[in-house]
Amino acid sequence: MPRTIIEPFRIKSVEPIRWTTRAQREELLRAAHYNLFLLPADDVLIDLLTDSGTGAMSTHQWAAMMEGDESYAGSRSFGRFSDSVREIFGYKHIIPTHQGRAAERILFGITCRKGDVVPNNTHFDTTRANVEFVGAEAVDCLIPEGRNPKSTYPFKGNMDLGALEQLIDRVGRARVPLVILTVTNNSGGGQPVSMENVRQVSAVCRRHGIPFYFDACRFAENSYFIKLREPGYESKSAKQIAQEMFGYGDGCTMSAKKDGMANIGGFLAVNDPDLALRSRTRLVLTERPADLELVQLAFPRRVYT
């Protein structure tokens, strides 16, 4: 017998939108000089500009917002947030930010300098911007299959290990302050990265003594793709896969406005205590406590079961 699959939740909030005609949309696009960032949001019928902040939060998350501890320092909400992040990511030091690009700004502002080179499978636009802002060069090392839309390769987000090795040899270890792996490969069409590729990239970084970081923008989807497509992971949960994946790295940046975790926020997670101290110092200068409180309260105690 066929079985109907439905979402295991109810939607309790509905936001009205303005219904525009094709002729109106064409005129609005011309008036905005075809720059979608210049369009008033009220004139947009279907918004595909971003996947950030588009998810709904659960009833428990909204309730936690009301019950949260808004203390300026030592908040129990921050403790709950930190415990949730450590449970999945495993890193020692958790630095909350208002969104992912703020975590990138802190990380690259501390670790990179002019003339450095930062490899990635494919840099996200804000990642590239933050790398280049400090004068470093952002280099994409994507496998050839990832550049071929017709390819059915299951892990088109993988980093090209040969290209990574060649880049390190060409510029020298001293000019590579860290390696970034984006999971899933957001600017590469959301294509996943295999666990084997994660292990291999980690091994290259260990061999050269280079810190290995993740852009964890869509780690849950990447974990599920590994479960579906990579032999040996069929019986593992997405959480178990994520925990193994992040265990190969030294830290990560995260936009929490994706993956159904929250509709705002992000964080930088690291193991290096010195980097953590410098990051917290910079955090005080660039992030507002009110923003951080939203991040802390929106995170549930347990993200995955």
pTM: 0.84
Residue of 226 and 54 predicted with greater confidence: 226
Q: What is the spatial distance between Cα 222 and Cα 242, in angstroms, rounded to a whole number?
A: 8
Q: What is the spatial distance between Cα 219 and Cα 85, in angstroms, rounded to a whole number?
A: 13
Residue of 65 and 92 predicted with greater confidence: 92
CA 252-111-222 angle, 5° bins: 20
Task: Look at residue 294 in the predicted model and tell me its pLDDT.
Answer: 43
Percentage, residues of the chain above pLDDT 70: 92
Least confident piece of the model among 12-16, 188-192, 222-226: 12-16
The answer to whether residues 283 and 291 touch, using CB atoms and an 8 Å cutoff, is: no
Task: Look at residue 174 in the predicted model and tell me its pLDDT.
Answer: 97
Q: What is the spatial distance between Cα 213 and Cα 261, in angstroms, rounded to a whole number?
A: 21
Instruction: Encode pLDDT of 90-147 as tens digits.
Output: 999 999 888 889 999 999 999 999 999 999 999 999 999 999 999 999 999 999 999 9
Task: Look at residue 28 in the predicted model and tell me its pLDDT.
Answer: 95
Task: Look at residue 146 in the predicted model and tell me its pLDDT.
Answer: 95
What structural domains does the chain harbor? 59-298 (3.40.640.10)
DSSP letters of 165-186?
A: HHHHHHH-GGG---EEEESSBG
Instruction: Encode pLDDT of 148-194 as tens digits.
Output: 999 999 999 999 999 999 999 999 999 999 999 999 998 888 999 99
Tokens of 24: 């109106």
Least confident piece of the model among 67-81, 227-241, 262-276, 281-295: 281-295
Q: What mean pLDDT is reported for the chain?
A: 88
Least confident piece of the model among 173-187, 231-245, 252-266, 282-296: 282-296
The answer to whether residues 264 and 55 touch, using CB atoms and an 8 Å cutoff, is: no
Reported as a pLDDT band with limits 50, 70 and 90, residue 260 is low
Task: Look at residue 53 in the predicted model and tell me its pLDDT.
Answer: 67
Q: What is the mean pLDDT of residues 78-91?
A: 90
| Of residues 38, 110, 41, 91, the one with CA closest to residue 280 | 110
Instruction: Encode pLDDT of 281-291 as tens digits.
Output: 888 887 755 44
DSSP letters of 131-145?
A: HHHTT-EEEE-B-GG
